[in-house]
A and B are shown apart, each in its own frame.
Chain A
Amino acid sequence: MKNVFDTFFFTEILQGLGVTMKHFFKKKVTYKYPYEDTPVFPRFRGIQYIKTDEEGVTKCVGCYLCQVVCPSECIHIVTDCGHKGQRLIRKYELDLSRCIYCGYCEEACPVDAIHMGRDYHTVDNTRDNYVVNMKTLTQNYKKEQKMAEAKGEQL
Chain B
Amino acid sequence: MLLAIVFTIIKILIVITCTLLGVAYMTWAERKVIGAMQVRLGPTHVGWKGLLQPIADGLKLVVKEDLTPDMVDKPVFIIAPLLGMVPALASFAVIPFAETFTVFGMEIQPYITDLNIGLLYVLALSSVGTYALIMSGWASNSKYALLGSLRSSAQVVSYETAMGLSLVGPALLAGSLSLRDITLAQQGLWFVIPQFVAFIVYMISAVAETNRAPFDLPEAETEIVAGFHVEYSSMKFALFFLAEYANMYLVSALAVVMFLGGWNGPILPPLVWFIGKVLVLMFFYLWLRATLPRLRFDQLMGLGWKILIPIALANILVTSIVVYIVR
Contact = CB atoms under 8 A, between A and B. Distances in A.
Interface in B266-293: 287-288, 290-292
Tier of interface size on chain A: 10 to 19
B292 A16 contact: yes
B40 interface: yes
A24 B44 contact: no
A19 B38 CA distance: 10
A21 B40 contact: no
Contacts of B287: 17, 20-21
B204 to A, nearest CB: 10
Interface in A7-44: 13, 16-17, 19-21, 23-30, 32
A17 B39 CA distance: 15
B292 A23 contact: no
Contact of A23 (B38, B41, B44, B288): B38
Contacts of A17: 287-288, 291
A7 to B, nearest CB: 9
A19 to B, nearest CB: 7
Contact of B39 (A16, A21, A26): A26
B36 A28 contact: yes
A26 B40 CA distance: 10
B291 A19 contact: yes
B37 interface: yes
A19 B290 CA distance: 10
Nearest to B284: A17
B35 to A, nearest CB: 8
Contacts, number: 35
Interface in A23-75: 23-30, 32
B292 A24 contact: no
Contacts of B40: 28-30
B181 to A, nearest CB: 32
A13 B284 CA distance: 13
Contacts of A30: 40-41
B37 A20 contact: yes
- Among A26, A27, A28, chain B packs the most CB atoms within 10 A around the CB of A28
A17 B291 CA distance: 6
Interface in B38-69: 38-41, 44
Nearest to A26: B39
A16 B291 contact: yes
Nearest to A15: B291
B39 A23 contact: yes
Contacts of B39: 23, 26-29
A26 B35 CA distance: 11
A110 to B, nearest CB: 47
Contacts of B36: 23-25, 28
Given A28-B41, A29-B39, A13 B33 contact: no
Contacts of B35: 28
Given A30-B40, A32-B44, A24 B33 contact: yes
A19 B44 CA distance: 24
Contacts of A24: 33, 36-37
Nearest to B45: A32
Interface string A83-98: 0000000000000000
24 contacts: A13-B291, A13-B292, A16-B291, A16-B292, A17-B287, A17-B288, A19-B291, A20-B291, A21-B287, A23-B36, A23-B37, A23-B38, A24-B33, A24-B36, A26-B39, A28-B35, A28-B36, A28-B39, A28-B40, A28-B41, A29-B39, A29-B40, A30-B40, A30-B41
Interface of B: 33, 35-41, 44, 287-288, 290-292
The 8 closest A-B pairs by CB, nearest first: A30-B41, A20-B37, A16-B291, A20-B291, A20-B290, A24-B36, A24-B37, A28-B41
Interface of A: 13, 16-17, 19-21, 23-30, 32
Given A20-B290, A21-B37, A29-B39, 12 more contacts: A13-B291, A13-B292, A16-B292, A17-B287, A20-B291, A21-B287, A23-B36, A24-B37, A27-B39, A28-B36, A29-B40, A32-B41
